[in-house]
Amino acid sequence: MSKILASLIAGLFAVGAFAQAAAPATPATPATPAAPAKVEAKADTKVEKKAEVKKKVTAKKAEKAAEKTEKAAEKKEDAKK
């Protein structure tokens, strides 16, 4: 039993050492970086689109709130009659 346990522990150490093997070497010539201006332009358009969507959502919420208050006012008038 102790021999089996010892062999299992030795195997775990071997697996751990194998998993920590050196990473592959990096290429000699680095890849050319992407144009940062294009990335910034995309980010700007995303921000603009989000702002437009927010405006639309707030406008819809305002319309719903106005309709709700109108309906409540109509109910009050009907109740008074």
pLDDT, tens only, 10-37: 999 888 887 776 666 666 666 666 666 6
Tracing tokens 């680095």 back to the chain, one arrives at 30
If we measure between CA atoms, which residue out of 58, 62, 65 comes closest to residue 73?
65
Which two structure tokens, joined as six digits, stand for 34?
């992407």
**Among 10-24, 34-48, 65-79, which stretch is predicted with the lowest mean pLDDT?**
34-48
Region 44-72: mean pLDDT is: 85
- Please indicate whether residue 77 or residue 64 has the higher confidence score (pLDDT): 64
In this predicted structure, what is the pLDDT of residue 40?
65
In this predicted structure, what is the pLDDT of residue 5?
92
